[in-house]
Structure 1
Amino acid sequence: MAPAGAVLYRNLRTFQVWGANTEVGKTVISTVLCNAARAKLKDRVQYIKPVSTGNIEDADSSHIRKFGIDRLAKHLDNTDEAFKSLCLHQYELPISPDRAAAVSNLHIPNDEALLSEIRQVLSERAELGGWAFIETAGGVHSPGPSGTSQADLYRPLRVPAVLIADSKLGGISQTIAAYESLKIRGYDVESVLLFEDDYYQNDHQLKTYFKQHGTPCKTLPKLHAPQSSKEADEELMLRYYEKHSQSPIIEEVLSHMKQRHDDRVKNLESMPSRAHNKIWYPFTQSTLLSPEKITAIDSASGDYFQTLEKKQGAESLIKSSFDGSGSWWTQGLGHGNPQLMLAAAYAAGRYGHVMFAEAVHEPALKLAETLLDYLSNPRLSRVFYSDNGSTGIEVAVKMALRAARIRYGWGPNDNLGVLGLSGSYHGDTMGAMDCSEPSTYNEKIEWYEGKGFWFSYPTVSCVDGRWTVAVPPALQDQFGSDKPFRSLADIMDLESREASREYEQYRVFITQTLKQLRVEGRRFGALIIEPIVLGAGGMIFVDPLFQRALVSVVRSSPELFADDAHFPNSANAWTGLPVIFDEVFTGLYRLGRSSAASLLQVHPDISVHAKLLTGGLLPLCATAASEDIFKAFESDDKSDALLHGHSYTAHAVGCSVAIESLEEMRTLDTTGAWDEFKSRWAGPAQESEQEAEPVWSVWSKDFVEWTSNRERVEGVWALGSVLSITLKDLQGAGGYKSTAAKDVQAALFKGDSADWNIHSRILGNVIYFMAGQTTSTATVQRVQDVLRKVLV
């Protein structure tokens, strides 16, 4: 089944009717709109009631038939085809839909299934064109059959809203609250309608309020009082519909809604060409870009973008695109996550933004406490806030270099470099770029000065069905040839591997290299690594044993870095050099653990976190450091302080969202949300103990091994939410400039279905995919099935 994404048809003007409360007249106004569209405008009409409770004779869809279709059938031809009413799920008890569904013996659809049913009805109706009205049940937050609030349930469809206001006592507050709930979730509220009430006169205040927000608010004459007989009541209803379905007010409302629909289509279709003329894109060679290559994103929900698919016929103009890059590695808890949105709205309302120098607000303090607890690193005690990973890295390097300079007595103008790994990349600001070796990213940057030394190392991948630690040719004299392993878990069993000969070989190689650098007069102030995986450098899975050996040698050999080196008394003080872990990409459950450091079983002195920190909603970075590092900046001279900051440092909205993000990921971990994924990676011993291996991935082991055996695949690995596939480059040696993965990327975006495709990013001959921490097994399987067809 295709994902239940957004709908937008060129000739089918689709709107969703919401009520500020129950009993506000949604069905009456829906009937007025349907009748007016059919009788006044002579358009075709489809009415949909996804869920209804109560007696079928009193159901809203029955009301539409009685006072709409049946009435118009007397005056118009082909009314059965031109005007249809449909209820998808009817439950007998007149109570909340979730409870009515629970006590019934009928099928209870999950959220995605219900949305797919609606999409199917609209798809079948799209060729006829005209209007479609989808009426919700009760109020905005009344639950659907699954118990999900309707405001969240229907959000993926992104159908423009018509809000029926409450004209009774308390209705002003109810209506505004309903409107704000819809707006917070990204709904376009195109019209507000309500009945006149001479006593409460809510329309006066509501018209003023909605005028300020640019949303038309119109009133309809109030309904008659209930009559003593059913026949008399129905007669008055017929008269009401005959009169007011023809009214100028309703004609004006429909005209406005039609214009808004047409404007939306026009705007969306023109966005690529307008963007091509106005926007300077990142990581893009503009001479190779055309409007046709620009993806117009209308909205996003869960794991999917909703993107423009240019069509002239009756098919939807919107297509679901799996967000294969996790929106540049930031997305983990789903686009439009309601808990994150609410946290952001609360903080925006409480604080907006407040300056942070020598001040504190609750979200910043709570996040610092939460993150330090989350990382479980006894060395870390302080948190410094910045706005993104690159600047967070610069902060970390400033911290480390100062601490090393103070301890070793170097001068402020002494040239200090960093130790790192070949192929690593830590960001695009100047200081962060200088922490990486020359590469495509920085080789043509006029101010770039690579300040450091970068080790070569063995890498991990699955090749021809076997997990392997691959040794590059330049290191085979030191380490020998590639080494096969039974499983990824065996590679990650670092305690066992420390007793191996290769661990000692790593230590000897690293020590000899550092001694030679010392002889050459090189001076270093920090070790900075991306633990386990190098992201932008090409999704390189470094042998974790090498990284563990590197940290161990640096910490145990201070004499390699300074003549007067010594070991501090404190157990948590840094030794040798301050160790920085760049977990901007790999941290916070990206690799299946709360931190990538826990996979290495190493505690860094400084740790940098961003991207998943806020669940993909806002930019924020936290650089955590040890007390030992913090004290290096203590002085009576203000110029000795860490003179770094941003106008939006520790912005309260970002901190509040980060707290919610961390709490939600921890809940997923502790409640077994990933147990099904973990079980698929369990080996025989773990299966007997009903435990998963210590390493796992959302991408199935069978799929990874199948992919590794494809003729065009050089190697593949999966860990946590990441899948990386390296393709053979027959034209060269691969790397960022390679085009070997372009055809795979294009085939995935073309897709094998009219309903969805896969949006992905490539790093030269590497194509990678990010699932989210809330991605379902069904979605992962869906993506894997398409990859099998493309890679076969």
Structure 2
Amino acid sequence: MTLSERDATVIWHPYTQMKTAQTPIPILRGEGVYLFDENDKKYLDAVSSWWVNLHGHSHPYIAKKVSEQLSILEHAIFAGFTHEPGVSLAERLLKILPGNQSKLFYTDNGSTAVEVALKMAIQYWHNQGKEKNKIIVFEHAYHGDTFGSMSVSARSAFTTAFDSLLFDVISIPLPQKGKEKESVIMFESELKKHKNSIAAFIFEPLILGAGGMLMYEPEVLDSLISACKNEDILCIADEVMTGFGRTGKLFACEYLNEEPDIICLSKGITGGTMALGATSCKQKIYDAFLSDDKLKTLFHGHSYTANPIACAASLASLDLLLSEETKAFINRISKQHADFAKKLSAYSSIENIRYRGTIIAFDIKNKEGVSYFNSVRDEVYNFFLAHGIILRPLGNTIYIMPPYSISVKELEFIYEIIEKRFSN
């Protein structure tokens, strides 16, 4: 049996209707920006394998550091114990995170990082004898697939089967270009209406990823955070996708003047090598849990919390990320995207071109409009696969989010194939 045939007998794939899905492509190895199948055909990974890969596949430096850690300590319970990789990573992250973050809580992925943030925020008030438990969110938001993270995400096909089990949130329009005033007015109105019951405002700073790579400006987010501060409402920045350089700065919140109280991290945290999540918070959040009363404990944990191997991978990825070489890569990709955006404007079948940092996105015009289930998605996906490029359109939204190690020529190749598709 081939690997694909064996897969069909035992595997249930994510975000996949298994009855109608195409046979999965068996990947045998990765190198740089490429993945190679069993026939040694290479695919340019233009979406960083679901936004996690920063430095290219099978990076030798990260592999070396992971290998070294494997021979020292593979795992240790993190309740009542600690270890060097976990402490070192927290020390380094807290130094570079925006907003005077003080403590770091480790988890396994982006969804669980958000779960912890929500529990921190709600219990922060509970521990002070205040029952503030409402959360304010953006329309089109996506924060994960666990129940808490689904609750603060947009109601959609992803959540339909579970809607009756999710907790209610206050949803306001995303302040996209031309809708800023409407969003701010509704936001301030909801703050007044629920003044004493809102625990937190959670947001994806500047770019909503799974919602369709929707973008908005830092100035309006600053005004919303400021309004929250005036009403004593906590602010949670979900930097799971935007963190670690994707927006051109190390973190999207660096574009802001205001500061979040809590930050959620995952995706690129290990450079795409290992599963790891983290939630940071300001000192005041942490202090609200310090008590002789054990009922004020943050009762949350994971078996693989602060896994030493994952932490070692993250430390190695940070070494690469903070290098002058990677900074130059990010700046160059950002400039290439900006130049390509001008070219895209000439195509009548394309609209809503937007970009920030290493991310560029646009929508394909058709009668169905913007939709995750737009029929053009599969045709476009297969077109790029046939040309050796992995792009996973969000419905009729196409985006590029490459590893930072992509070369000028490799990025230009992606652009050329996009132009080929839309010049017909």
TM-score, scaled to structure 2: 0.94
Q: Distance in 2 between matches of 1:646 and 1:325?
A: 28
> Is 1:761–2:392 an aligned residue pair?
yes
Aligned partner of 1:643 among 267, 287, 299: 299
How far has the Cα of 1:457 moved from its partner? 2.7
Structure possessing the higher relative contact order (Cα contacts under 8 Å, 6 or more residues apart): 2
Code of the residue aligned with 2:373 in structure 1: it is: K
- Cα pair 1:665 1:773 within 8 Å, conserved: no
> Is 1:373–2:95 an aligned residue pair?
yes
Gap change, CA 1:274 and 1:540, over 3 Å in 2: same
Unpaired segments of 5 or more residues in structure 2? none
**1:215 alignment partner in structure 2:** none
> Is 1:387–2:104 an aligned residue pair?
no
**1:307 alignment partner in structure 2:** 37
3-state SS of paired residue (2:400): strand
Q: Deviations over 1:325-382 (max 9, x none)?
A: 211110111101011111111111100111111211111111000001111432x110
**1:654 alignment partner in structure 2:** 310
- Cα pair 2:148 2:166 within 8 Å, conserved: no
Q: Deviations over 1:274-305 (max 9, x none)?
A: 212221111011121143xx211121111111
Code of the residue aligned with 1:596 in structure 2: it is: A
- The correspondence of residues 150-299 of structure 1 with structure 2, limited to 5 A, is 270-291=2-23, 294-299=24-29
Q: Distance in 2 between matches of 1:710 and 1:516?
A: 45
**2:130 alignment partner in structure 1:** 410
Code of the residue aligned with 1:665 in structure 2: it is: L
Q: Distance in 2 between matches of 1:271 and 1:398?
A: 41
- Cα pair 1:452 1:524 within 8 Å, conserved: no
- The correspondence of residues 48-59 of structure 1 with structure 2, limited to 5 A, is none
TM superposition outliers: structure 1 runs of 4+ over 6 Å? none
3-state SS of paired residue (1:717): strand
Aligned partner of 1:600 among 256, 263, 267: 256
> Is 1:345–2:67 an aligned residue pair?
yes
- Cα pair 2:266 2:278 within 8 Å, conserved: yes
How far has the Cα of 1:600 moved from its partner? 2.4
Q: Distance in 2 between matches of 1:672 and 1:435?
A: 36
> Is 1:451–2:168 an aligned residue pair?
yes
Aligned partner of 1:719 among 356, 367, 387: 356
Gap change, CA 1:639 and 1:302, over 3 Å in 2: same
**1:742 alignment partner in structure 2:** 378
Gap change, CA 1:532 and 1:593, over 3 Å in 2: same
**1:710 alignment partner in structure 2:** 347
* Cα RMSD, aligned residues only: 2.0
- Cα pair 1:305 1:323 within 8 Å, conserved: yes
Instruction: Kindly tell me the number of residue pairs found equivalent between the two proteins.
Output: 423
Unpaired segments of 5 or more residues in structure 1? 1-266, 309-316, 460-468, 480-505, 559-575, 678-696, 752-756
Q: Deviations over 1:656-676 (max 9, x none)?
A: 111111121111368644454
**1:192 alignment partner in structure 2:** none
Gap change, CA 1:508 and 1:303, over 3 Å in 2: same
3-state SS of paired residue (2:220): helix
- Cα pair 2:238 2:264 within 8 Å, conserved: yes
> Is 1:419–2:136 an aligned residue pair?
yes
Gap change, CA 1:707 and 1:279, over 3 Å in 2: same
3-state SS of paired residue (1:287): coil
Q: Distance in 2 between matches of 1:544 and 1:376?
A: 14
Give aligned-pair identity as a percent: 30
Q: Distance in 2 between matches of 1:540 and 1:708?
A: 18
TM-score, scaled to structure 1: 0.51
**1:24 alignment partner in structure 2:** none
3-state SS of paired residue (1:718): strand
How far has the Cα of 1:526 moved from its partner? 0.8
3-state SS of paired residue (2:19): helix
Gap change, CA 1:709 and 1:389, over 3 Å in 2: same
Q: Distance in 1 between matches of 2:67 and 2:327?
A: 27
- Cα pair 1:728 1:740 within 8 Å, conserved: no
Which protein shows a greater Rg? 1
Q: Distance in 1 between matches of 2:68 and 2:168?
A: 44
Aligned partner of 2:241 among 585, 606, 609: 585
- Cα pair 1:436 1:451 within 8 Å, conserved: no
3-state SS of paired residue (2:344): helix
- Cα pair 2:138 2:173 within 8 Å, conserved: yes
- The correspondence of residues 551-566 of structure 1 with structure 2, limited to 5 A, is 551-556=225-230, 558=231
**1:396 alignment partner in structure 2:** 117
Gap change, CA 1:770 and 1:672, over 3 Å in 2: closer
How far has the Cα of 1:759 moved from its partner? 1.2
Q: Deviations over 1:10-60 (max 9, x none)?
A: xxxxxxxxxxxxxxxxxxxxxxxxxxxxxxxxxxxxxxxxxxxxxxxxxxx
> Is 1:628–2:284 an aligned residue pair?
yes
**1:161 alignment partner in structure 2:** none
3-state SS of paired residue (2:317): helix
Code of the residue aligned with 1:625 in structure 2: it is: C
